[in-house]
Structure 1
Amino acid sequence: MDTEASHTQRGHSSPVEGEGRSRSAFSGAAALFARPGWFTWRRAGLLGIVCTVFLLLLSNFVVQPFLIPSRSMEPTLATGDRVLVNKLAYGSGGGPKRGDVVVFDGTGSFVPEHAGDGGNPVGEALHGAASALGLAEPSDTDFVKRVIGVGGDDVVCCDAGGRLKVNGVPLDEPYLYPGDAASKVPFRIVVPLGTLWVMGDHRSQSRDSRDHLGEPGGGMVPVDKVIGRADWIGWPASRWGAPGAAGGSGGGHG
């Protein structure tokens, strides 16, 4: 009888002890948050710094927000859109493909080397951090365009129907701005290996590879200057989603 009684007492007492411990933990947490001075501006500032550093690291190595500064990629990307640039898109050895919308550093291809030298280093660093978080316009050396030709491609403007031809095959471009011609500038180029021929979707408003044909590099963008692929429109909310699909492309490399 004594044994049965002791088992019964333990059976009834266990939940009470557990409940007591839960109440004690809750009371301790409540006391911590109710304690005067648990929140201070110093702690808030430190938390803000930690979050900013984390976001900068994420932006530098994985995904970078990019603020679209112009109309050159309409209707795919509008001025003020913030796109998420996937910096790991080409990390496995596969390079950009025709139709990809890419962000790249145009130094040496679209803008001269050392074009940005002589500015305020502190101001440039702050602007760089803000643009890396998508809070400011990108650097004057960063561009967003669509890949039309990859290394080895023969790109021609234009056929009898006004379409670009890649490796002899007319290019279907459903992403073009309504009413725009594929190009009003005739050209024929063979893209050197390791480079890209890029153009904006709003051809009449885009300064792209066509505008640098007579310059060193001939308007070609080195693949190693590609920052990443624009995979997603993150803002505004009404435009959430992947950028417009690429059109069909010609045969050959890529």
Structure 2
Amino acid sequence: MALGIAVAGMVLAAVSILATRDETAGYRTWQQQSRAMEPTYPEGSDVTVRPVDGSGVRRGDVVLFSARDWGADSVFMMRVIGVGGDHVVIDETGTRVSVNGKTLREPYLAKGDPVFGLPVEVTVPAGRLFLLGDHRDIAADSRAPHYEHSGTIARSAVVGIAVDPASVPSPDRLWTWVGAATAAAGLVAAAVAATVRRRRIGLAPRIWHPASR
């Protein structure tokens, strides 16, 4: 009975750890390689990335993507401003952005003097994303006029989405602890039972048989 309790506890702890390991599979750390996403992600900072295929990406998400549509054989990180069908308008300062007629509140933008440039007005093609850096005065993003497809990138180019490290599943420490404690208690009980059994055998009265003389 005691050994059964110990085994059950070990199984409970193992299941808790294995289940969480499956949930965290695929998460990785990306090191930001430019200042384009400052101050949200400074150059050199580590970013926790969850792998996605781009189909579930929404406005406001910070994504990791292949920049081949922009003529670069590398991976960039930018913020999604518009998705397929959205009408995006940016003023000359590059800081006032509206999507479908509604001005965005962007508290994540880098502070500094406005950098004037060409205004942007584009309707995002279906299956594509309009991306901007948080550091608008230095980011090379969907505002660049020489890019094809109105500066957008294909959803299929997305390889991951930046997430809060605190949101990554961690082992359910309560059930792991309960399992370990149960296993330990079962082992202790089994050891005590074995000791008591040995003592009983040692203290059992010996029966005298005449044949033993």
Q: TM-score range by the shorter chain?
A: 0.5 to 0.7
Change (3 A) 1:200 1:180: farther
1:103 counterpart (34, 59, 64) = 64
Q: What is aligned with 2:110? A: 177
Q: What is aligned with 1:64? A: 28
Change (3 A) 1:151 1:182: farther
Structure 2: runs of 5 or more not aligned:
1-22, 168-213
Q: What is aligned with 2:119? A: 186
The percent identity for this pair of structures is 39
Q: For 1:157-176, what aligned pairs fall within 5 Å after superposition?
A: 157-158=90-91, 163-176=96-109
Measured after TM superposition, the shift of residue 84 of structure 1 is 1.3
Q: What is aligned with 1:81? A: 45
Which deviations, in whole Å up to 9, do the C-alpha atoms of 1:92-148 show, x marking residues without a partner?
xx52111100000111x1225xxxxxxxxxxxxxxxxxxxxxxxxxxx510000000
Measured after TM superposition, the shift of residue 182 of structure 1 is 8.5
What CA distance in whole angstroms lies between the structure 1 residues aligned with 2:74 and 2:113?
A: 26
Structure 1: runs of 5 or more not aligned:
1-57, 113-139, 234-240, 243-254
Which residue identity lines up with residue 111 of structure 1 in the other structure?
A: G
- Asked if the contact 1:75–1:176 (Cα under 8 Å) also holds between the matched residues in 2, the reply is yes
Q: What is aligned with 2:148? A: 216
Is the aligned partner of 1:141 residue 2:74? yes
What CA distance in whole angstroms lies between the structure 2 residues aligned with 1:205 and 1:83?
A: 20
Which residue identity lines up with residue 27 of structure 2 in the other structure?
A: V
- Asked if the contact 1:104–1:228 (Cα under 8 Å) also holds between the matched residues in 2, the reply is yes
Q: What is aligned with 2:89? A: 156
Q: TM-score, normalised by structure 2?
A: 0.61
Larger Rg, first or second structure (1 or 2) = 2
Q: For 1:20-59, what aligned pairs fall within 5 Å after superposition?
A: none
Which residue identity lines up with residue 83 of structure 1 in the other structure?
A: V
1:230 counterpart (162, 173, 192) = 162
- Asked if the contact 1:103–1:227 (Cα under 8 Å) also holds between the matched residues in 2, the reply is yes
CA RMSD, Structure 1 to Structure 2 (Å)? 3.2
What CA distance in whole angstroms lies between the structure 2 residues aligned with 1:232 and 1:219?
A: 28
Measured after TM superposition, the shift of residue 163 of structure 1 is 1.8
Which residue identity lines up with residue 208 of structure 1 in the other structure?
A: D
- Asked if the contact 2:37–2:78 (Cα under 8 Å) also holds between the matched residues in 1, the reply is yes
What CA distance in whole angstroms lies between the structure 2 residues aligned with 1:229 and 1:182?
A: 28
Q: What is aligned with 1:30? A: none
Q: What is aligned with 1:9? A: none
1:201 counterpart (134, 143, 149) = 134
* Higher relative contact order, structure no. (Cα contacts within 8 Å, ≥ 6 residues apart): 2
What CA distance in whole angstroms lies between the structure 1 residues aligned with 2:92 and 2:116?
A: 11
Measured after TM superposition, the shift of residue 218 of structure 1 is 2.6
Aligned residue pair count: 148
Change (3 A) 1:98 1:80: same
